[in-house]
Copies of this chain bind each other. A is one copy, B any other.
Amino acid sequence: MSGIAEVARLAGVSKSTASRALGGTGYVSDDTRRRVMAAASSLGYVPSTSAVSLATGRTQNIGVVMPYVNRWFFAEVLEGLQQSLLQRGLDLTLYDAKPGTDGRNRIFEDFLARKRFDGLIAVGLEPDHDEIDRLLSIGRPVVSVVGSGEETTVVEIDDDYVARRATEHLVALGHRDIAFVGGGVTTHWAQVDRRRLSGYFGAMEDAGLSNHAVHIVSEVTMPGGYAAAVDALGDVRNRPTAIVATCDEVAIGTIIAARRLGVQVPSDLSVIGIDDHEFADMFSLTTLRQSPREQGRVAVQLLLEHLDDPSRPMRVVRMPSQLIVRNSTAALDPRRSAVVIDSRVRGE
């Protein structure tokens, strides 16, 4: 009826031998191993995971905590994680920890304490102090994809650099009135947004354009970008000639808004994003590509390393990003080129 005992009986060996034969650990003669395997497969034997966990202390399961699952970045990371874990025979249990919800509290207070997993991957969690403490006190390795401070191993892109690079691309095209559209400081995604914002400011400053820098606050979603852009582009006289969006979703929202307002992209307005979202191509969006899916895969690998050697030091892994030039950015209209030269001189 139940389990390995049956297999052992059928193979004519003891439970311990059967266990060794199946588990691949310890000495078993080739012959017995074969007999045991045969018995197991003829019985369709599948070990009870709870019994295995109880005996070994390993669950073969990885917990994944993230605040959203319906946003591009998160969904992509999740797919990367799932794929990598599946490949290694590990289960994935998901905890959807939306900031400021009861659910999030319960996750941190009850669910994580159950330790139903061998390790934890936190994606864009941006936990507060208490939450970080809880995370670390579980006694299981934790790897973050973006933003859990310096307390865990983390994989991320260099947000400051990426935003800087995006801004420089626009500067190089002759733009001076370059605005940044992205999350306010209080929103979620705050850390990432703050870094990108500061990269933008840095690049503006380096180009001598500090006094042209404008932060247009927007919710970090496509509709959010749309709303913010409709508002900001409405005023024809004070309209920027170029926009750095904090991510492609916001960039696309901006482009849609521009089209609605009759503002031509890129001739009237250049827009650059960060991500290389699946819709980027459809909108000819120039962007800085990152691969969240790959970040998920790397996170799994890092976690497994911690798993088989808990003494490993924490690491920060910086993933690459790449400028993808499409058709949403263009050189500033010739009519305004005099100004451009001007600014270059100032910049030097």
Residues of chain A at the chain B interface (Cβ within 8 Å): 46-51, 53-54, 59, 61, 69-70, 72, 75-76, 78-79, 82-83, 86-87, 89, 91-96, 103, 106-107, 110-111, 113-116, 221-223, 226, 253, 256, 259, 278-279, 281-283
Alpha-carbon separation in the docked complex, A63 to B107 (Å) = 18
Determine if B226 and A282 form an interchain contact, defined as CB atoms under 8 angstroms apart: yes
For A75, what are the chain B residues with a Cβ–Cβ distance below 8 Å?
Answer: 69-70, 75
List of 9 A-B pairs having minimum Cβ-Cβ separation, nearest first? A50-B53, A70-B75, A82-B96, A50-B54, A93-B93, A50-B50, A223-B282, A46-B113, A94-B94
Q: Write the nearest CB–CB distance from A310 to chain B, whole angstroms.
A: 19
**Pair B89/A92 contact, Cβ less than 8 Å:** no
20 contacts between A and B (CB under 8 A): A48-B54, A49-B50, A49-B114, A49-B116, A50-B50, A50-B51, A51-B54, A69-B69, A69-B75, A69-B78, A69-B79, A69-B82, A82-B96, A86-B96, A86-B103, A86-B106, A86-B107, A86-B111, A93-B93, A226-B282
Q: Please, how many angstroms separate the alpha-carbon atoms of A130 and B259 in the complex?
A: 49
Q: Are B69 and A223 in contact (CB under 8 A)?
A: no
A61 to B256 CA separation, bound complex (whole angstroms): 42
| Nearest CB in chain B to that of A259: its residue | B259
Shortest Cβ distance from residue A176 to the other chain B in the assembled complex, whole angstroms: 29
* Chain A contact residues, majority secondary structure: helix
Q: Which residues of B contact A82 (CB under 8 A)?
A: 69, 94-96, 103
Q: Are B279 and A222 in contact (CB under 8 A)?
A: yes
Q: How far is the CA of A72 from the CA of B111 in the complex (A)?
A: 27
A48 contacts which chain B residues (CB < 8 A)?
54
Contact A222 B282 (CB under 8 A): yes
